[in-house]
Amino acid sequence: MEPIVFAAMLASAALHASWNAWVKSSPASPEALAAVVIASGVPQGLLLLMAGFPAPAAWPWVLLTIGLSVSALLLLGSAYREGDFAVAYPLIRGLIPVVLALAAVPLFGERPTVMGSMGVACVSGGLALIAWESTRRTRTMTLRGLGFAALAAGITALSVLTDTKGARIAGDPISYAATISVLNAVVMAAVYRVRGNNVSALLVRHRQVAAGGALIATVSYILFIWSLMQAPVAMVSAVRETSMLFSLGIAALVLRERIGSWRWAAVTMMFAGLLLIRYSQAL
């Protein structure tokens, strides 16, 4: 794998973890998350004005991606109601690279090397270990929750596949990413408005995370889309999911949260996965 592509994937993961940690630190995380999504429409809208809309052939994939994303969010909410976020989130993220590795063979003809497959397995295994450790500690995930988590992972993986197809057809990562982000912002604002919320007041209440998080999320998503155009989808997704590594680092160093031995074992597994993916095409 080319060093510049691997670096872009890591940068996307680090930025993704940063704005999510910022959102998590807010007393009203769901509102802060919505504020970031809505506010991201501003910088992405400016980029869209400069880059223009993607090619017409990419639009079915744009619309399909947005539909799948909304469905995945609804399933995420159901999974979170059945169990802790600390269990559901790493479980969902860990399943995604595995689903993508299997689906990318018939859809894109991408057959990862043995080393690359081992790397994906290590990253997913590390995330699964975090989910297991959280379940062991909290014992709050139901069988229904596991089902919702599996469905959310499957649909999220499908949205990554449609992202990949759309971006490769569009041929322009900025145009494609900006279009997706602007439409997501419009949909999120509409949902909050229908629920009786004042969107302007929401953005004002969370103005710091909305402004800073939107800029960080914008760069992260563009790097992710660009990487999908350069490397096998399963490899890109696996490296993106190592945002959990950066999240754990932020939790330990910034938020001063305790990281147990099982999570350090998970970190080791994911780091090994990164090395395997990085050098999977070197031999």
Q: What does pLDDT average to in each consecutive run of 10 residues of the chain (283 residues)?
A: 83 84 75 88 94 93 87 67 63 75 76 80 81 67 71 83 90 93 90 87 91 93 92 80 71 64 79 77 49
Total domain count for the chain?
1
Verdict on whether the full-model pTM lies above 0.85: no
Burial class (CB in 10 A: 0-12, 13-18, 19+), 283: exposed
What pLDDT, on a 0 to 100 scale, did the predictor assign at position 42? 94
> Is residue 226 in some structural domain?
yes
Query: Residue 256: which H helix or E strand, with range?
Result: none
> Is residue 168 in some structural domain?
yes
What Cα–Cα distance (Å) separates residue 4 from each residue in 62, 221, 268? 26, 16, 23
> Is residue 283 in some structural domain?
no
* C-alpha 13 chain-centroid distance: 8
> Is residue 127 in some structural domain?
yes
Domain limits for position 95 = 3-278
